[in-house]
Amino acid sequence: MLAPLDILDQLKARLRETVVSAVALDGEGFLSLILAIPPLPGIAPQLTGPQFHFIHAHRNEMRAGYGSAGEWLATGPGRLQSLRAEAKRLAACWQQLDLDETGFTGFAMLGFAARSADTRARTRSRFPNALLWLPEVALHTRSGQGAIVLTTAVPSTGEEVLARWTGRLEQLLPFLGQPMAGPLRPAPLERRSEQPDAQGWQLLVRSALTRIARKDLQKVVIGRRLRLEGSRSFDLSRLMAALTFLFPSCQVINLRRGEVSFVAATPERLLTQRGNRVEVDALAGTAARAPNTAWDAALTEALRSSGKNLHEHRLVVEAVRNALAQCSTRIEAPHQPQVMLLNNAQHLWSPIKAELVPGTDVFALAELLHPTPATNGEPRDEAIAWLRQVDPFERGWYTGAAGVVEPDLTGELWVLLRCAEVVDHRADLYAGAGIVAGSDPSVEWRETEDKLSAMLMALQFA
């Protein structure tokens, strides 16, 4: 395999040759050049400036984006329709040159907050309410193949584009051959504050159970925010490596704008759309893991047979089916849930598939599916209204979604769970629990502690 600097020299030479002769720079819209590169290590480099990373170890797939060739923001009830219109305009004027016939294409990042409009003072996060982000440089590796995608707005001059892209390659390529950063010695983490605290949690859960007993709600998801301080600045490369190692079946995400990084290791897809097919994860009903095989198996069996957890899971399955019924000709859902096993928790899981009516895209699907009862509650509107009144903090992008959009407006989105906002040596961690009839406040608190442990464990080694 060529060394990174040899690859850099080859890419720069090909870039000069292509850009000098590219008449497409005289058009209007966007131009992407796609070049083959060797497969990358499992973690994309952390560079300066805005960037996003999506890593799924079990699928052997990584996508990353650096800088911005174009950005579109939206807020309010029509935020996804607004971004859909921008994505359609982008697709109509986006020329892609796959110089090495890699089969890869350029892609954009779509992400949005839990709610369509913030109702309280903004947190320190610089993330907009909803964002469609076309990176200037993108990396995509999958099943032993890799490509780099360079994108620019046009019209532009060849000299300007060549200088900018060459600078990006010089910044990025030297890091591509480096192995994953190993873990540091575990460092202590100090709990600074939590919202709600244990007493406030008890009150919120009891209030939710009262609403459920009155039939106002069937389920509602209450969240927690835990603020931590470390003894050193958190190393994002090591944090991503730790999360990828600890949770290889999860989508590990890093979104960075300004000094804020939003990091997640989420087990839950909102959707994966390929052509006219879509697959959705119904994930609800949780149990802890145990240190020995017999105990762990007993917890799994108890989860499978728990009336409370099965009821919670059925609410999510039915909500997903009802949402997909509005845009599908056929829906396939398993009769019984599987159990998804993670290092720190296990969940009831039903992958639901559907065949879509023509014209359905990732934006329409996201609007129908988000928020599911797994992160909000049921009925949806009543749960949203109650949570707006009682949530002790603004959720921001926690329980929102993020993922990639392809040029044909299909793509994949993941629910932002098991996540943290990280700035220097501080981190705000988020987790929640679904409250249904029969929920016990103390048991639900322990469930959130199990979920928080995913990020807590990784942060100790970063």
Give me the catalytic one of 136, 268, 412, 421: 268
Indicate if 139 and 27 belong to the same structural domain: yes
Give me the catalytic one of 86, 136, 194, 219: 219
Does residue 188 carry a pLDDT above 80?
yes
Question: Given this model, what pLDDT does residue 20 score?
Answer: 66
Does residue 112 carry a pLDDT above 90?
yes
**Of the residues 142, 175, 208, which one is the last residue of a structural domain?**
175
pLDDT band at 4 (very low <50, low <70, confident <90, very high): low
- Give 47-78 pLDDT, tens digit per residue: 999 999 999 999 999 999 999 999 999 999 99
Across the chain, what does the average pLDDT equal? Answer: 92
Domain boundaries, position 158: 4-175
Specify whether 406 is catalytic.
no
**Cβ–Cβ under 8 Å, residues 457 and 289:** no
What is the C-alpha separation between 4 and 173, in angstroms, rounded?
A: 6
Higher pLDDT, 202 or 14: 202
DSSP element (H, E) containing 24: none
pLDDT band at 3 (very low <50, low <70, confident <90, very high): low
CA dist 13 → 16, 40, 96, 165, 255 (Å): 5, 21, 19, 12, 31
Indicate if 168 and 200 belong to the same structural domain: no
- 29-37 and 94-98 strand pairing: parallel
Indicate if 162 and 207 belong to the same structural domain: no
**Of the residues 147, 175, 203, which one is the last residue of a structural domain?**
175
What angle (nearest 5°) sits at the alpha carbon of residue 275, between those of residues 271 and 276? 80
Written as one string, the DSSP assignment of 150-173 is EEEEES--HHHHHHHHHHHHHHHG
Specify whether 219 is catalytic.
yes
Indicate if 113 and 211 belong to the same structural domain: no
Query: Both tokens of residue 163?
Result: 């200088």
Cβ atoms within 10 Å of 409's Cβ, excluding its own: 20
Whether 46 is in a domain gets the answer yes
Indicate if 309 and 455 belong to the same structural domain: yes
- Give 351-382 pLDDT, tens digit per residue: 999 999 999 999 999 999 999 999 999 999 99
What is the C-alpha separation between 316 and 87, in angstroms, rounded?
A: 29
Does residue 89 carry a pLDDT above 70?
yes
What is the C-alpha separation between 401 and 417, in angstroms, rounded?
A: 9
Question: Given this model, what pLDDT does residue 404 score?
Answer: 98
Q: What is the Cβ-side half-sphere exposure of residue 332, based on CA atoms within 13 angstroms?
A: 8
Total count of domains within the chain: 2
Indicate if 132 and 231 belong to the same structural domain: no
Question: Given this model, what pLDDT does residue 118 score?
Answer: 58
pTM for the whole structure: 0.94
What is the C-alpha separation between 30 and 149, in angstroms, rounded?
A: 12
Question: Given this model, what pLDDT does residue 24 score?
Answer: 63
Find all residues with CB under 8 Å of 11, minimum gap 6, and list them.
35, 37, 148, 169, 173
Question: Given this model, what pLDDT does residue 429 score?
Answer: 98
